[in-house]
Each structure stands twice: as C-alpha cells, then as structure tokens.
Structure 1
Amino acid sequence: MCPVAIKKINLQGVSNMQDIVSEIIVMKRNRSPHVVNYLDSYLVCKELWLVMEYMDGGTLYDAINETQMCKDETAIVSWECLQGLDYLHSNHVVHRDLKSLNILLRTDGSVKLGQYILGQAQFLIATKGIPELQQSELLSPLLRHFLSCCLQTDEARRWSAQELLQHPFVTSAKPTSSLAPLVILVNNWKEKTGMRQ
C-alpha cells in the first residue's frame, strides 16, 4: 500500500459548500505527472479530508531555506513547474497560489505543483505588487531575463507557461533525477534536527 497525504479542511464556517465540491471535481478531472494528484475525499465529523498523492521530499520552501540552489537546480524546478502550469492552463484551470510551499518534491527528484485549487495569492500581487528580487546582481543575465518574462504585471506582456517553456533558461534543464541529492540532503538535515513531519 502506498503512503498518501491528507489535507483536512474544517467545514465549520464554510459559507458555500458547493464551491468546495466544484473544486474537488476540478482536481479529480485534472490528473497529470506534473501536479499532486487528488485520490479521494472523506467527510470525518466536521472536516473534509482530501486524500492526495504523497510527495516524500517535502516542499521547495524547505529546500531553498536550508540550501542554496544552483542555477541548474533552479532551471529543473522551473521547467517542471511550467509543465504543470501549462497542463492546468490547457484545461482552463488557473493555479491561484503558486509559491514555494505549494511546490512539492520527491526523493527521486521529481517536482509537482500542489494546492492549485484551494488558495487566493493573486490578491497580494494585485494590492502589493511584485516583490523585489534580493541580490539580483548574483543572478545570471539569462535567469534575470526569464524572471522578467514571468513577472510582468501587464498580462499582455507576461509570457504564458507555454512560451516560458521555450525560454533558453529552462530548455537546457537537466533531468529531474539531478535534484535527488539536494532533496535527500534537505530531508537528512530535517531528520537530524527533528523537523521532519
């Protein structure tokens, strides 16, 4: 039997249950090797338990907070995330909360988008603008150009996921298995420090 992840949603105070049901239907229909797949759901007392595919490598947030990712590792993660976004967009689904906590890793190096339905991050971008890159002078010109293509506030100028998949920064990405040592290193560190969940 394979391990699974369970996301628990407290239904007390949920004003429109139909929205949650609609979002579960969207998750059920959108299965891809590039997104964390929905498996099933259960109503337990006053909680909705969403059973999802388990990613044993933690989140990208863990990796970027415990290590310094190199350009090649960044390109791999970007390529894999864009594959997931392109898949969702082609099925008329918009990822509403793309951040490092919602990018999940496996110890084999695979990368998948998670939490693509139940979120609302666009409000922050609309009200606070795009955050400034810290130490941008340390980034290669190619990476800076890639980021500028991603972070255009004007939707007409912002590249789509499909266009970004053609950008030279990601077209030269190595196989995901190249990420495995990084993920294992972060997991080992978390186990040693007792931070493993």
Structure 2
Amino acid sequence: MRNLQEQNTGTYWCAVEITGYWDVKEWIYLKIQSALDVSVMSSSVIVDEGGNISVQCLYTSTYKNETKQWCRYKDKKCYTSQNASVEISDDRRGSYTVVMSGLMKSDSGWYYCSVGDLQAPVKLTVTVAVTDLHIPVEFTVTEATSAVTSDSSSTRDMRDIHKSLSTLISIPNNRVQAPSGEGQQNKY
C-alpha cells in the first residue's frame, strides 16, 4: 500500500481462497494519521545474548498524560512487560526510554512502545554471541618428535626438535601444521 491518506484508516484483511471459500483470514486495523503521535527512534534492534538495549519512544504533547508502556506482541496480543529486567523512564517532554537487560535468545520478537491506545513497533533480535574458539591440540613429546622427524633421513638434536615444537600452530579442524621452511620435508 502506497501514498496512504487519513481516509484509508479502517479494517483490512488477508485471506486465502481454498475450495471456493475464504478459508484463512487475518484482520488488521490500520490507522493513518498526518503526524505520528507515537513513534520510535529505531524500529529494529539487534543485541548479543546477555546484553542490554535502550529504546527511545517518542510521543506528541497530546499524549503527555497517557500511560506509557512497553509490551511484547505474541499470539496476536500485546503483553505488558513488568519484570525486573525492564525499566521505563518518562521525561514528560515527549519521550520515554525503555531499558531491557540480561536479554536471552527467547526475548527475540516484536515489541511496542505503547502510549494510551497507540503503539509503535520495534523488532528485537537477540543473537548468540560468538566467542573465540580455542581448540586444544594435545600430544606427547614422543608423538610430536615423531611428527616432526618422520620421513627425515637425518637425525636432529633436541634443540632442533624443541624449536620445531615451539613453532607448531593449531588451525581449524584440529589439524596440526608445521611452518614451512628450510629443511622441511613433511606436509601436514
């Protein structure tokens, strides 16, 4: 729908025709107004799990004395958030701030800044934090000595083996790779 005007305010529905009838229907009431009485600074927020968000909700002076709420849209209803991880502070000059802390993946979804009977939607996406992966590579000195010196016709003294062992690095998929260099005959 484009170029909506106030006269387009009303109830709309989507349906699927199955066997000649409108079998599945979803209703929505759409209110078009010339100036937004309620809005948000950002309608989409992405945060890592365990993190916090701050959402700024804006309203016109007409709604200064109306109740300000933060609610989650689920199962076609808006549930008011009233737990310790949600704080709402109203500056009484046209905005209020919602802070949510300790977010979990299950907190992802649609929320609304609600002022009186008006709402402005916010999509919250909580992602699983990616941390550095440290894959330990464990082997004995005998195994490592064998890996460094296998297929080598010459023998090395302990200093050469120690130097080779200290330069081994781990790479993805738990493979051990020795650095390339002079006298290196093995490929890992």
TM-score range, shorter chain: under 0.3
- With structure 2 as the length reference, what TM-score do the two structures score? 0.23
Which structure: larger Rg?
A: 2
Higher strand residue share: 2
- With structure 1 as the length reference, what TM-score do the two structures score? 0.22
Larger RCO: 1 or 2 (CA < 8 Å, sep 6+): 1
Higher helix residue share: 1
